[in-house]
Amino acid sequence: MGSLKIENIRKSFGQVDVLKGIDLEVRDGEFVIFVGPSGCGKSTLLRVIAGLEDATSGEILIDGKKVNNTPPAKRGIAMVFQTYALYPHLSVRDNMGLGLKQAGKPAEEIKERTRIASAMLSLDDYLERRPAELSGGQRQRVAIGRAIVREPQLFLFDEPLSNLDAALRVNTRLEIARLHRQLKATMIYVTHDQVEAMTLADKIVVMNKGRIEQVGSPMELYNSPQTLFVAGFIGSPQMNLVEGAKLGDPAAKTVGIRPEHIQVSNTSGTWKGSVIHVEHLGADTIIYLQTDFGPLTVRLFGEHQYEVDQVLYATPDAGRTYRFDDKDQIIKA
């Protein structure tokens, strides 16, 4: 009941093309995350789906019905905003109930649905308060509650965690994951944070410069990136990207090796390098090496001791290097 189909959506603001032909299919119940650097068009795409912006061309189908000309309130969607966007003059209860009231639902039903949503998000104690009297995390829960109350076919989240501090972000992330399991609703979520994307998504849509670079499950994107952009964007620390010619592989313009797919040794290995800097994170140790072909990041699991200027030898794991052609597309092995 909550499928979404986007066909060749384009959006221009004057001369600027923000979306350059987006095709996407989202199945009922999926948790899809749009991720990409700022300015890549992911928020615009979400707004087009919500009906807050009109697409310049292309079709949007929610549940098989074309909704290009349907106003946002009638699309069966609910949206959670980065800035919470709660109505400042209404209590939490009225904030959650406003949409239903506008739709002309009976007071009994509004009350019941508000009750269910507030119980789900443990907001019962705050129902009579105004947004100004709540903390950031509580406000975002109210905003999520306002979305739940509408019982939408499609939940849209626009960077909902960006304004929260780190600890709350993790909690709210778990909360959203739990809600997705509980409600079994289709959710579309925009973020620039790849950790959110990797942890929440069934399917990640990586966007860059108004186009979709790749669509896939988190592990697909991690293990088989189709383009150089995806390879560099997914994974932290970032994948090492080295010119193929410098590694004696002229067939590939760029060669990528993830920092965690490199082993180091004091005595022998494929590449020789000297240590520039070491970061000790407890669970991992990150080593920055200077080699003949440029800097190389290595991520080792556990605790390791290395000195700056120490000479090390690095060896990539077999079958874990990625080769990209001059169009930045992957070269299939």
Task: Starting at the earlier edge strand, list the strands of the sheet with 16-26.
Answer: 16-26, 4-13, 57-62, 65-66
Smallest gap from residue 133 Cβ to other proteins (A): 8
12 binds other proteins (CB under 8 A): no
> For the chain, how big is the Rg over CA atoms in Å?
24
Closest distance between other proteins and the C-beta of residue 26, in Å?
A: 18
Q: Does the protein bind other proteins through residue 86 (CB under 8 A)?
A: yes
Q: In what order do the strands lie in the sheet with 31-35?
A: 77-80, 154-158, 186-191, 31-35, 203-208, 211-216
Smallest distance from the beta carbon of 8 to other proteins, in angstroms?
23
SS3 content of the chain, % helix, strand, coil (to 5): 30, 35, 35
Is 77 a binding residue for other proteins by CB under 8 A? The answer is yes
In whole angstroms, the minimum distance from the beta carbon of 71 to other proteins comes to 7
Compute, in degrees rounded to 10, the torsion defined by CA atoms 90, 92, 97, 99.
70
CB of residue 190 to other proteins, shortest distance in Å: 13
Taking the least distance from each CB to other proteins, the nearer of 163 and 227 is 163
Q: Does residue 52 belong to the site contacting other proteins (CB under 8 A)?
A: yes
* Collapsed DSSP state (helix, strand, coil) of residue 89: coil
**CB 77, min distance to other proteins, A:** 7
Minimum separation from the CB atom of position 88 to other proteins (A): 3
Q: How many residues bind other proteins (CB under 8 A)?
A: 34
Q: Is residue 329 classed as helix, strand or coil in its secondary structure?
A: strand
Helix (H) or strand (E) holding 213: strand 211-216
79 binds other proteins (CB under 8 A): yes
* Identified binder of other proteins from the candidate list 72, 232, 237, 269, rule CB under 8 A: 72
* Residue 229: HSE in the Cβ half-sphere, 13 Å Cα cutoff: 15
Query: In the numeric block, which tokens belong to residue 72?
Result: 């946002």
Shortest CB 169 distance to other proteins, Å: 15
Of the candidate residues 8, 23, 66, 73, the single one contacting other proteins (CB under 8 A): 73
DSSP alpha helices (H): ranges in 103-165? 107-120, 136-149
The footprint of other proteins on residues 211-270 (CB under 8 A) is: none
Q: Which of residues 97-156 bind other proteins (CB under 8 A)?
A: 98-99, 102-103, 130-134, 136, 146, 150
Measure the CA–CA gap between 207 and 178, rounded to whole angstroms: 26
Q: Which is nearer to other proteins, 38 or 268 (CB)?
A: 38
Q: Does 76 bind other proteins (CB under 8 A)?
A: no
The string of DSSP codes covering 263-308 is EEESS--SEEEEEEEEEE-SSEEEEEEEETTEEEEEEEES-----T
From 68-76, 178-186, 205-213, 283-291, span contacting other proteins (CB under 8 A): 68-76
* Candidate list 59, 87, 272, 277; residue touching other proteins; CB under 8 A: 87
Q: How far is the CB of 139 from other proteins (least distance, A)?
A: 8
End-to-end Cα distance, the chain: 40
By beta-carbon proximity to other proteins, the closer residue of 2 and 225 is: 2
In one-letter notation, the amino acid at residue 190 is: V
Rule CB under 8 A: say whether 177 interacts with other proteins. Answer: no
Please identify, using beta-carbon distances, which residue of 68 and 163 lies nearer to other proteins: 163
* Strand stretches in 217-266, DSSP E: 240-243, 254-257, 262-265
Nearer to other proteins, 134 or 185 (CB): 134
List contacts with other proteins (CB under 8 A).
Answer: 47, 50-52, 71-74, 77-79, 81-89, 98-99, 102-103, 130-134, 136, 146, 150, 158, 163
